[in-house]
Chain A
Amino acid sequence: MSHTCRQCRAALYPYVRRELTPNKRRFVAQHLETCTTCYAEYRRIRAFEGDLGGALAQLGVPSPLQLAHVWAGVQTQIAAPNEGHGLHFRMRYGAALALLVVALVIPWLLHHQQSMTVPLPPTPQTQTQLVTHPAIIIAMATPNAVTIHASAPYTEATPAFARNDAPDLSATQTP
C-alpha cells in the first residue's frame, strides 16, 4: 500500500461523513478516482455506514404496551412524595457517618488497650548508677575484661578480682 493510499484510508471515514476540510476532501476524491482498491474500501465503508444507522434505529423499538408500562411506573413514582428519597439520603449519610466513627474509634481503642496491657519499657540506667557497681568499675579498668552483669550476685564463679575480698597482689608483683 502506497503512502497516498494510507493517507486516503485514514481520511475515508470522515470523508464518508463529510467532515473533511475542502482541501482534504479534494485530495481524497482525486485519489478515489485513480485507485480502485481505495474506491472499493470507500464503497464498503459507505454501505456499512448506511446499514448501521438503519439497523440501529430498528433495534429495540418499543411496543406501545411497553411504553404504557413505563408510563404507569413513572406516574406512580411521581405521585409518591419525595420523603422516601430524603429518608434514603439521610440513611446513606448516616451510615457513612457511623462508618467514619467506627474507623476512628477502633484504632484508638486498640491503642488504648495496648497501652494498658504492655509493660512500660525499662528506664535506662544513668551513667552514675552503672559506675558505682564495683564489678563494672573493675571490668572497665581491666583490658580483656570478662563481661559481668551488674545484676549478677557474687558467687564462687565470680573472678577474684571482681570480689571485694580479693587479696591485694600489688605488693607481691612489685619488684
Chain B
Amino acid sequence: MTQEPKPSETIDVLLARCLARDQHAFQELFDLYAAGLYRLCYNLLLNRDDAEDVAQDSFVYAFKNLHRYDPAKSAFKTWLYTIAISRCRNQYRRNRVPLLDLANLWHQPPVAPQHESPEAIYAHRSAREALAYALTRLNPTLREAVVLRYGHGLTYREIADVMDCPAKTAESRVRLAHETLRGVLHSSGGEGLLEELLSY
C-alpha cells in the first residue's frame, strides 16, 4: 500500500479507467496515494481519528468528482492534496485547538526494531512527541507549508498551488515555519531528539 506513485502517463491511464467506473482502478489509485494523504492529514491534524475521517472524505470527494480534475492545471497528487488541505482547514475550525493524539503515539507499534531497549523506545517516542508538540506551536498556515515541503517534498510552485498563494509567499512561509520549529525544538531540547528519531 505504500508504493511510489507511477509516472504521469500511467496515472492518466488509471484515471481514464476510473472515469469508466472500473472498481479495480479506484483501488489502485487509492493504494498509490493513501499512505501519503493519510500522513499529510495526520501531520496537520495530529489526531488519528480526524486524519482517517479527512483522508476518507478526501478520497470520496476526489473519486466522485474525477471529471472535474484537469491534468493541464496540476498534477493529480497536487489536486488530491488541495482537497485534503481544504478539509483539514474545516477540521481546524471545528476543533479550534488542534488535538495531540497522545493515545495514538502510545499505542502505535514502534518503528524501532523489537529488540531495542525500553530506554531507546522511550527516547524514540519522546522525539515524536516533541516534533508533534512543535508542530502544534505553529499556526495552521505555517504548519501546512512546512509539512508539504519537508514531509512530502513538494516544490514551492506545488505548495503555492495547494495553498492557493504565490510561490514567494509559500517560500517565506516555509522559512518562517522552519525558524519557528527550530526555536521551539531548541527551547524544549528537541533538536537532539530529532536526531534520535532519525537514528532508527
CB–CB A74/B30 < 8 A: yes
A149 adjacent to chain B (CB < 8 Å):
no
Q: How far is the CB of A145 from chain B (nearest CB, A)?
A: 73
A50 contact set on B, CB distance < 8 A: 198
Scan A43-84; emit 1 where CB is below 8 A from any B CB, else 0: 001011111111111111111101101110110011000100
A67 contact set on B, CB distance < 8 A: 1, 34-35, 38
CB–CB B43/A48 < 8 A: no
Nearest residue (CB) in B for A19 is B171
A13 adjacent to chain B (CB < 8 Å):
yes
Question: Interface majority SS on B: helix, strand, loop or mixed?
Answer: helix
Stretch binding the partner chain, chosen from B9-17, B51-59, B80-88, B158-166: B51-59
B128 contact set on A, CB distance < 8 A: 55, 58-59
CB–CB A52/B181 < 8 A: yes
Nearest residue (CB) in A for B56 is A73
- Interface size on A, as a range, is 20 to 34
CB–CB B194/A55 < 8 A: yes
B147 contact set on A, CB distance < 8 A: 56
CB–CB A78/B42 < 8 A: no
Nearest residue (CB) in B for A69 is B52
CB–CB B109/A63 < 8 A: yes
Q: How far is the CB of A74 from chain B (nearest CB, A)?
A: 5
B151 contact set on A, CB distance < 8 A: 53, 56-57, 59
B42 contact set on A, CB distance < 8 A: 59-60, 62
A62 contact set on B, CB distance < 8 A: 34-35, 38-39, 42
